[in-house]
A and B are shown apart, each in its own frame.
Chain A
């Protein structure tokens, strides 16, 4: 594995399988009375969040703490975009504090890449979501969740031949980018569904199929992932009204009825109930949305553990 996790494109199939297999071991920990391992004792993980994100930050914090790392939460309100302290100065501060890993969420695409490659810090950098670029740990937890439900009985985590449909604002979605790349690496067949205005230019070169017609593709899907649609996209003229969007691209009870029995429904959160997903779908038996959150902690534990040089088995070496 590379030193940093900036994009799921950086992960080979072996890397991805290792992370998912490690996460599976660590996932068992959640069911134990004592949920803590000493693996990263004495190491410092900094959560550097330039954008509000409650769930991702808490997930990383829980992951680091369960591995006994020291955690510093750094909510940097106002990046250099808003004339606050610059990314560089913040990075130098963290470096001076002796951070071993920096988990960074930033509104600018490529900010974690800059952090990792500009020589400002020596720490391992984990991208926790950058602009409209990528969100690799979200894709890993999505893949992990899919493997648990759809992965078959093979020894290795695999999604070979599984059909995943990702629906919504692909253009602005870092989750969609990371998932498209990772799921392809793991052998899944990915179809992106969106109105043409919300598919990026050049999507035809991505390792995915695309469709404008949700009803045509979901009956064959093994997993359907709904993406959040921000209401401000409406003022950008990407679609006429929220109602029309819901009608054409929302997942409601009628559409859910066309799914195969085993098909799962996913959402990276936060959901806009009534917009891209109706409440009855979100709360249905098919929905694994809450489980995604649980799995997120295990996946992030695996990432931190593997990046920070865990060569010993993560589980089993309790002192």
Chain B
């Protein structure tokens, strides 16, 4: 196995130092005099680069099994590696749905075979995501995939009793229910954020209250039964306020925000270009600002991508006919830099917390992922050049899909290298 000497690199934005990755672990940090080297050493000039712990995504759609035309575990994890991720949680809304031990073990095994990052399957809460009956959560937890995160993402567990039972049941194996907060009746046929613009464009509105009502109910349920709740893709200022309130009361709730909700706003819908169609929808500037503030003060625990690949034909059509979702893995860190770091809201240690340590803790994988960069830890490391800029070209994506809303935008930063347990999955900005 190659030993890497990364010279003059800034760990979490600190003073430049040297970082040795050896035998899958962080071997040494600091002065290299006296550090033994053999022929297998590869030196990397880390000047100007920041070292971050390998990023962990709690919300990725890998589409396999079932929609291999949009993404496979291999292509999706290649995209993840290019974005600096060393672990992704693969959402359950595949075909068939990941609601049995068999399916989650298949996804887990495909991730191991691909080898670009650790793949942790998310189990469905209910059979077929139908919201009727609990899936065999325990069987998925006990499987080789060791599922700890359960979600019907794409659909809301809207039945209050079912949600209560799920929250209670997963306590037996320290699981967490990740809720897609969307009151279904309030969002029938919904196409975009409900507001002045939806009324003008004649697109059915997706009101903020449909998200907030579910979050309010769920944090009360979580408090009542003493369970862990995770809220997916928080998109409104009101939701941030509710989560802040719940945390203040001591409710065990965690929450994620997506890069696109931090950067983009609903005025893009005026183009009627469904590249901007996503669920929950892009919201107002005030909502995006509230999300940034919530992410900065820790109300929102993590950034998660909601990477949602779709084939061209599902986006190259009229808005109402198009699929919800956008790519996110390869641009997430750049957008967090632009919206949070360059604005002074977060430092790089804060980015590490929100994109690596915290998601690993929520997913209960922090024994191997989301570890600090200190000697002896697994060598899951990203080298990132925050001074680079790039113009997003969908054709360069590792994803099989091209539905990035950032096409043609200039974004800051570039992932130079990603190491998964000491093995380079990305080097010189190229997939290995």
Are A202 and B200 neighbours in the complex by a CB distance under 8 Å? yes
Residue B318 interfacial (CB < 8 Å): yes
Known: A110-B272, A202-B197. A174 touches B320 (CB 8 A): no
Q: For residue B197, which residues in chain A have a CB less than 8 angstroms away from its CB? A: 202
Picked from A107, A130, A201, the residue with its CB within 8 Å of the CB of B198 is A201
A201-B201 contact in complex given A80-B321, A110-B319, C-beta closer than 8 Å: no
Q: Which residues of B contact A205 (CB under 8 A)?
A: 196
B240: shortest Cβ distance to chain A, in Å? 21
Contact of A130 among B191, B194, B202 (CB under 8 A): B202
Contact B196 A108 (CB under 8 A): no
Interface residues, chain A, with chain B CB atoms under 8 Å away: 79-81, 86-88, 106-111, 113-114, 117-118, 130-134, 174, 177, 200-203, 205-206
Q: Tell me whether B205 is interfacial, beta carbon within 8 Å.
A: yes
Nearest CB in chain B: distance from A50 CB, A: 9
Please give, as numbers and ranges, the residues of chain A lying within 8 Å of B271 by CB-CB distance: 113, 117
One digit per residue, 1 when the CB lies within 8 angstroms of any chain A CB and 0 when it does not, for chain B 178-206 equals 00000000000001001111111111110
A36 to B316, CA, bound (A): 40
- Verify B194–A109 contact, CB threshold 8 A: no
Question: Would you call B31 an interface residue if the criterion is a C-beta within 8 Å of the partner chain's C-beta atoms?
Answer: no
Interface residue tally on B, bucketed by range: 20 to 34
Query: In the complex the two chains form, what is the Cα distance from A132 to B205 in whole Å?
Result: 12
Residue of B nearest to A202 (CB): B196
Complex: A106 Cα to B191 Cα, angstroms? 16
**Which residue from chain A places its CB closest to the CB of B202 in the assembled complex?**
A133
* A200 close to B201 (CB less than 8 A): no
A133 pairs with B321, CB closer than 8 A: no
Instruction: Kindly identify which residue among B200, B207, B319 contacts A114, using a CB–CB cutoff of 8 Å.
Output: B319
At the interface, yes or no: B39 with Cβ under 8 Å from chain A?
A: no
Closest-by-CB residue of A relative to B272 is A110
With A86-B313, A110-B272, A113-B272: A200-B199 Cβ-Cβ less than 8 Å? yes
Contacts of B199 in A (CB 8 A): 200-203, 206
Complex-state Cα separation, A57 to B349, whole angstroms: 63
Residues of A within 8 A of B201 (CB): 109-110, 133
How distant is the Cα of A88 from the Cα of B314 in the complex, in angstroms? 11
Q: Is the CB of B319 within 8 A of A202?
A: no
Q: Is the CB of A87 within 8 A of B195?
A: no
Considering only CB atoms, which chain A residue lies closest to B313 in the complex? A86
Apart from A132-B203, A132-B204: 15 A-B pairs, beta carbons within 8 A? A81-B320, A87-B318, A88-B317, A109-B272, A113-B271, A134-B202, A174-B202, A177-B202, A200-B199, A201-B195, A201-B199, A201-B207, A202-B196, A202-B197, A202-B199
Contact of B205 among A201, A203, A206 (CB under 8 A): A201
Given A86-B313, A114-B272, A109–B196 Cβ distance below 8 Å? no
Closest to B317 in A: A80
B267 to chain A, nearest CB (A): 13
Q: Is the CB of A110 within 8 A of B318?
A: yes
Check if A106 sits within 8 Å of B318, measured CB to CB: yes
Q: Which 5 A-B pairs have the closest CB atoms?
A: A202-B196, A133-B202, A110-B272, A200-B199, A109-B202
Distance, CA A109 to CA B203, complexed state (A): 6
Q: Report chain B residues within 8 Å CB of A81.
A: 318, 320-321
Q: Cβ of A132: which chain B residues have Cβ within 8 Å of it?
A: 202-204
Contact assessment for A108 and B205 in the assembled complex, using a CB-CB cutoff below 8 Å: no
> In the bound complex, how far is the Cα of B274 from the Cα of A111, in angstroms?
11
State A113–B317 Cα separation when bound (angstroms).
11
Asked if residues B200 and A108 are in contact (CB atoms below 8 Å), the reply is no
Nearest-CB distance from B185 to chain A (Å)? 10
Among B197, B202, B316, max chain A CB count under 10 A is at: B202
Q: Are B200 and A177 in contact (CB under 8 A)?
A: yes
- Within 119-147 of B, Cβ neighbours of A (below 8 Å) are at none
**21 A-B residue pairings within 8 Å (CB atoms):** A79-B318, A79-B321, A81-B320, A87-B318, A88-B316, A108-B319, A108-B320, A109-B202, A110-B201, A110-B272, A113-B271, A114-B273, A117-B271, A117-B272, A118-B316, A131-B203, A133-B201, A174-B202, A201-B196, A205-B196, A206-B200
The answer for the CA separation of A201 and B316 in the assembled complex, in Å, is: 28
**Residue in A closest to B195 when the chains form the complex, CB atoms:** A202
Q: Are A111 and B318 in contact (CB under 8 A)?
A: yes
Across-interface contacts of B198 in A (CB, < 8 A): 200-202
Provide the bound-state CA to CA distance between A118 and B353, in Å: 41
B196 touches A131 (CB 8 A): no
- Smallest Cβ-Cβ distance to A180: which chain B residue: B200
Q: Roughly how many angstroms separate A2 CA and B415 CA in the complex, as a whole number?
A: 44
How far, in whole Å, are A156 and B414 apart by their CA atoms in the complex?
60
- State how many angstroms separate the Cβ of A198 from the closest Cβ of chain B: 12
**How far apart sit A203 and B197, CA to CA, in the bound complex (Å)?**
10
Q: Which residue of B lies closest to A120 (CB)?
A: B316
Minimum CB–CB distance for B228 against chain A, Å: 35
Complex CA–CA separation, A107 to B203 (angstroms): 11
Closest to A50 in B: B318
B314 nearest CB neighbor, chain A only: A80
